[in-house]
Amino acid sequence: MRVIVDVMGGDNAPLETVKGAVLASKARSASYILVGDRAQIETIATAEGLDISRFDIVHASEVITMEDDPLSVVRAKKESSMSVGLRMLAEGKGDVFVSTGNTGALFTGATLIVRRVRGIQRAAIGSVLPAAEPCILLDTGANVTVTEEYLEQFAVMGSAYMHKVFGIESPTVGLLNNGTEDHKGTPLHIEANKRLKACESIRYVGNIEGNAVPFGACNVVVTDGFTGNVFVKTMEGVGKYIMKAVKGVFVQNGVSKLSALLVRKSLNGMKKTFDPSEYGGSPFLGISKPVVKAHGSSDAHAFQSAIRVAIDYAESGVIYDIAEEAERFAARKKAEHEASLAAEQKEADYAATT
Amino acid sequence: MRVIVDVMGGDNAPLETVKGAVLASKARSASYILVGDRAQIETIATAEGLDISRFDIVHASEVITMEDDPLSVVRAKKESSMSVGLRMLAEGKGDVFVSTGNTGALFTGATLIVRRVRGIQRAAIGSVLPAAEPCILLDTGANVTVTEEYLEQFAVMGSAYMHKVFGIESPTVGLLNNGTEDHKGTPLHIEANKRLKACESIRYVGNIEGNAVPFGACNVVVTDGFTGNVFVKTMEGVGKYIMKAVKGVFVQNGVSKLSALLVRKSLNGMKKTFDPSEYGGSPFLGISKPVVKAHGSSDAHAFQSAIRVAIDYAESGVIYDIAEEAERFAARKKAEHEASLAAEQKEADYAATT
């Protein structure tokens, strides 16, 4: 396993990313390739007393910032750590790529440099949610508008991920909607609900509402990237807000210092899990090789956790499953198309004879 | 102030709604008109020892259930408590209508029986959110698809509500989006953001993200009914899930019984406020007379709180402000239309002379 690590571009890069990579290398044996400014990496290692002797360092002279245009990854900043790392992944010089950098640029680069799985119409960004049962939501921001077919493919890809990475035999899938009944949602949701019901590759449980998700309503939640983004950010904001309010309750009620101390540690742990963006890393599903986004504000521990997600993703073989499903999808589509042509022909023949 | 109370139709109706009305009458002096099954209301009053002698009771022989089609309010069940009450409101036999019944039917009835304010293209359901600053989100479910103009009108209506009902001098308005930058969102959001920036009737602060809302990012959040519904349900679900987890932390850490007891009460209070649907009642904005929806599962206290919201709404005069704004909106639209005609004419004149 060769992990290509983009150490530049996040809020705390390269200090925390280099530290995170060192932490990860102690926890999981793999080859680590750090891509970034060589001088900065070496200075950090010396200053922090980090042993990076077993790491390969690939120098990159540029950095994509949060303000850069997503297309800079393939245009103005081809020598950025992100571009260099993605090209290495595409060329087989590593098995997985992980970055804290600009999400839009990373997604654009993954799509244009690494490319999608053949037959996948759009890749999606997955977020593993804090919930009573393992749960991934996709898309969380890559595609603000979608079609029924994209949603069907998201469902198939999310199922493959939860099966292979989380070991769930037959993951349940729900369509995020504003009610559970079949007539709920926009015309797109009504059509997507029909398609998902008819899709034999997944275990569809129907429309689900936002309040059911944290309680384990299903393992895969599919939605467009706009709604998905609002969902995970709302989850994050409400989580932070409530945890703050809970702390206030302690102070108000004069809870003993010892009790407060005991509880605070657990509460702080909880607080982190309610920020979906910090909960590990976000896999890009539908890209032909594994790419994982770590939160822009990752500290060393969060980045280590994203690297763990990346290795799990790469080792799982989920992308082979997605490729197989994409072929099945194409076959179904072809059959549908031929059936519709045949029906048209039949109608035309009938019209000609009458 | 004459409050028309639909005591039928909710999960706990008519027991909790009659009790809620009695509680409300003790807290706020007003005339209360209960609409529903007279025999059931009287039986409850006797069994519970409730004094309903000062209430008017208007008998209604039918009840709209949660399963009924929204249009039943004007078709199959014209003698339902909801239809009778809405007709009374429309005919001026009361000043405000409050109901725990079927949201779709109530909204349809409000629109078709009471009717919209002239010039308002679509009415919206508002939800006052638990947040660091007073905040209303609309639409939370009535219009799954919207236009830029609807969103502009939602912004104006929400501002009028926060000004008149919450006493906020100049309420801030945000457009719920998947990022703060102007290019974020679907084409609709990009257009709506432009329109809201140009609208002089409101204090627009720009695109806002879901995680900023609980922390008081603005007083009015505008969005389509699909996203708004997902938002409030996610808020509700995450709130409930976290509060459950917080309780677990107490048990795990062996917090003393006394501390736990002290804190539990506060936490239970908090839990309720994080269910936006229970947080008072939801005003329908854009309807020509005040209609308020109470949560379907309201107990007496929640229903009392919805009645309080209804009275505040009716006393505030916010609907006059909305009507004025709707006139201004129509004038702006007319001016825009004339300007575009004039520009076309100018171009045609120019083309004719060259």
Residues of chain A contacting B249 with CB distance shorter than 8 Å: 263, 266-267, 270
Q: Does pLDDT of B38 surpass 70? A: yes
Instruction: Check residue B199 and give its pLDDT.
Output: 94
- Give which of B129, B175, B233, B262 to mutate to test A binding, by max A Cβ within 10 Å: B233
Q: How confident is the model at residue B244 (pLDDT cuts 50, 70, 90)?
A: confident
Considering the domain architecture, whether residues B277 and B131 belong to the same structural domain is answered as yes
State the 10-residue block means of pLDDT for chain A, 354 residues long: 95 94 94 97 96 96 93 94 98 97 96 97 95 94 95 98 97 96 95 96 97 96 97 91 79 65 71 64 97 92 93 96 94 88 88 80
Write down the residue that tokens 């109470």 correspond to: B294
- Give which of A175, A242, A253, A257 to mutate to test B binding, by max B Cβ within 10 Å: A242
Note which residues in 143-182 of chain A have CB less than 8 A from chain B.
Answer: 144-145, 176, 178-179
Report, as an integer, the average pLDDT of B53-58: 96
ipTM of this complex: 0.88
Distance CA B105, CA A58 (A): 64
Instruction: Check residue A260 and give its pLDDT.
Output: 67
Which of B176, B238, B259 has its CB closest to that of A238? Answer: B238
Considering the domain architecture, whether residues B276 and B293 belong to the same structural domain is answered as no
Q: How many domains does chain A have?
A: 2
Instruction: Check residue B243 and give its pLDDT.
Output: 82
Q: Do B270 and A245 touch (CB under 8 A)?
A: yes
Asked if A212 has any chain B CB less than 8 Å from its own CB, the reply is yes
Residues of chain B contacting A237 with CB distance shorter than 8 Å: 209-215
Considering the domain architecture, whether residues B135 and B277 belong to the same structural domain is answered as yes
A/B interface, count of CB pairs below 8 Å: 161
Query: Which of left, alpha, beta for B177 (phi over 0: left; psi -120 to 50: alpha)?
Result: beta
User: How far is B103 from chain A, CA to nearest CA, in Å?
Assistant: 12
CA-based nearest residue in chain A for residue B216: A241
Residues above pLDDT 70, as percent of chain B: 94
Spatial neighbors of A178 by CB under 8 A, at least 6 apart, are A184, A185, A209, B141, B144, B225, B226, B229, B230, B233
Backbone angles phi, psi at A3, to 5 degrees: -100, 120
Q: How confident is the model at residue B35 (pLDDT cuts 50, 70, 90)?
A: very high
> pLDDT digit string (tens) for B274-293?
665 556 799 999 999 999 99
Considering the domain architecture, whether residues B296 and B173 belong to the same structural domain is answered as no
Distance CA A291, CA A173 (A): 23
Distance CA A142, CA B53 (A): 61
Domain ends where: A276, A308, A326?
A: A276
Q: How confident is the model at residue B126 (pLDDT cuts 50, 70, 90)?
A: very high
Which of A176, A237, A266 has its CB closest to that of B215? Answer: A237
Which of A141, A237, A253 has its CB closest to that of B262? Answer: A253
Asked if A188 has any chain B CB less than 8 Å from its own CB, the reply is no
Asked if B261 has any chain A CB less than 8 Å from its own CB, the reply is no
CATH for A152: 3.40.718.10
Considering the domain architecture, whether residues A115 and A193 belong to the same structural domain is answered as no
Which of B186, B242, B250 has its CB closest to that of A226? Answer: B186
Residues of chain B contacting A176 with CB distance shorter than 8 Å: 230
Considering the domain architecture, whether residues B216 and B167 belong to the same structural domain is answered as yes
Domain that holds residue B269: 127-281
Q: Does pLDDT of B260 surpass 70? A: no
Instruction: Check residue B287 and give its pLDDT.
Output: 98
pTM value is: 0.91
Q: Do A236 and B210 touch (CB under 8 A)?
A: yes
Considering the domain architecture, whether residues A116 and A139 belong to the same structural domain is answered as no
Q: How confident is the model at residue B130 (pLDDT cuts 50, 70, 90)?
A: confident
Asked if B139 has any chain A CB less than 8 Å from its own CB, the reply is no
Considering the domain architecture, whether residues B96 and B168 belong to the same structural domain is answered as no
Considering the domain architecture, whether residues B134 and B102 belong to the same structural domain is answered as no
Which of B145, B186, B270 has its CB closest to that of A144? Answer: B186
Query: Domain for residue B302, yes or no?
Result: yes
Q: B244 versus A294: which is more confidently predicted?
A: A294
Query: Domain for residue A159, yes or no?
Result: yes
Q: B266 versus B81: which is more confidently predicted?
A: B81
Residues of chain A contacting B239 with CB distance shorter than 8 Å: 238, 242
Query: Domain for residue B194, yes or no?
Result: yes
Would strands B56-59 and B31-36 be described as parallel, antiparallel, or unpaired?
Answer: parallel
Backbone angles phi, psi at A279, to 5 degrees: -80, 80
Instruction: Check residue B297 and give its pLDDT.
Output: 87
Report, as an integer, the average pLDDT of B13-40: 95
Asked if A214 has any chain B CB less than 8 Å from its own CB, the reply is yes
Quote helix, strand, coil % in chain A, to nearest 5.
50, 15, 35
Query: Domain for residue B351, yes or no?
Result: no
Instruction: Check residue A280 and give its pLDDT.
Output: 75
Q: Do A225 and B178 touch (CB under 8 A)?
A: yes
Q: Do A178 and B144 touch (CB under 8 A)?
A: yes
Asked if A234 has any chain B CB less than 8 Å from its own CB, the reply is yes
Considering the domain architecture, whether residues B163 and B191 belong to the same structural domain is answered as yes
Query: Domain for residue A344, yes or no?
Result: no
Q: Does pLDDT of B311 surpass 90? A: yes
Query: Domain for residue A341, yes or no?
Result: no
For residue A214 the two structure tokens come to 């944290």
Q: How confident is the model at residue B246 (pLDDT cuts 50, 70, 90)?
A: confident
Considering the domain architecture, whether residues A55 and A72 belong to the same structural domain is answered as yes
Query: Domain for residue A353, yes or no?
Result: no
User: How far is B72 from chain A, CA to nearest CA, in Å?
Assistant: 17
Considering the domain architecture, whether residues B180 and B201 belong to the same structural domain is answered as yes
Instruction: Check residue A274 and give its pLDDT.
Output: 66
Residues of chain B contacting A210 with CB distance shorter than 8 Å: 229-237
Burial (Cβ within 10 Å: 0-12, 13-18, ≥19) of residue B272: middle
Query: Domain for residue B181, yes or no?
Result: yes
Which of B141, B189, B211 has its CB closest to that of A237? Answer: B211
> pLDDT digit string (tens) for B133-162?
999 999 999 999 999 999 999 999 999 999
Q: Do B259 and A262 touch (CB under 8 A)?
A: no
Query: Which of left, alpha, beta for A108 (phi over 0: left; psi -120 to 50: alpha)?
Result: alpha
Note which residues in 269-328 of chain B have CB less than 8 A from chain A.
Answer: 270, 274
Q: How confident is the model at residue B247 (pLDDT cuts 50, 70, 90)?
A: confident
Distance CA B18, CA B346 (A): 66
